[in-house]
């Protein structure tokens, strides 16, 4: 499940030039890059010798106000449905390279995900966990709180 904190200002986070370095020293990081083709009917991943079409399916979403202090939490339950291999890409498309940085605390169950575009500009930040909002898990809350502190420090 993906979790967003709407009160976090992406512009301020982008201006924190030491953010990635600071996060890398405190947390375990996994990094990978994907070539993705965006289109009106889904997105396509370019693999070694094939192109696979996907659609994003949203199952559920919930909001908890004041999840931590004055920060709200938006939980979005989505998955990427694999449609299958395709042999032609629609004429109206855009090719992007997405670099994903996945930070985790020792337990490795909750993650901070930062996505960057071709220009190394942060385009998305969210938390990922298998916890559901109604679980009221103290460890998840502590992890999110720690990540928020790291994101807002200058």
Q: What is the pLDDT of residues 61-92, one digit of tens each?
A: 999 898 888 899 999 999 999 999 999 999 99
* Residues in the chain, total: 154
The single residue listed with the structure tokens 């998305």 is: 124
CATH number at residue 7: 2.40.320
Which pLDDT score, from 0 to 100, does residue 133 have? 66
Count how many Cα atoms sit within 13 Å of the Cα of residue 19 in the half-sphere of its side chain.
Answer: 24
Segment 92-116 shows an average pLDDT of 86
The yes-or-no verdict on residue 21 having pLDDT over 60 is yes
Q: How confident is the model at residue 107 (pLDDT cuts 50, 70, 90)?
A: low
Query: What residue numbers bound the domain in which 73 lies?
Result: 2-152
Per the structure, the count of domains in the chain is 1
- Residues 6 or more apart from 29 whose CB is under 8 A from it? 23, 101, 102, 103
**Is the pTM higher than 0.95?**
no
């Amino acid at each position: 499940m993906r979790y967003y904190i709407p009160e976090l200002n992406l512009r301020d986070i982008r201006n924190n030039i030491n953010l990635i370095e600071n996060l890398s020293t405190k947390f375990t990081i996994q990094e990978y890059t994907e070539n993705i083709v965006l289109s009106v009917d889904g997105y396509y991943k370019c693999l070694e010798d094939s192109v696979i079409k996907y659609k994003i399916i949203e199952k559920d979403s919930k909001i908890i106000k004041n999840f931590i202090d004055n920060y709200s939490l938006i939980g979005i339950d989505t998955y990427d449905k694999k449609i299958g291999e395709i042999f032609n890409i629609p004429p109206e498309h855009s090719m992007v390279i997405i670099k994903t940085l996945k930070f985790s605390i020792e337990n490795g169950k909750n993650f901070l995900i930062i996505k960057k575009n071709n220009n190394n500009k942060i385009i998305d930040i969210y938390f990922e966990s298998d916890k559901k909002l109604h679980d009221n898990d103290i460890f998840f809350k502590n992890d999110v709180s720690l990540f928020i502190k790291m994101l807002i420090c200058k």
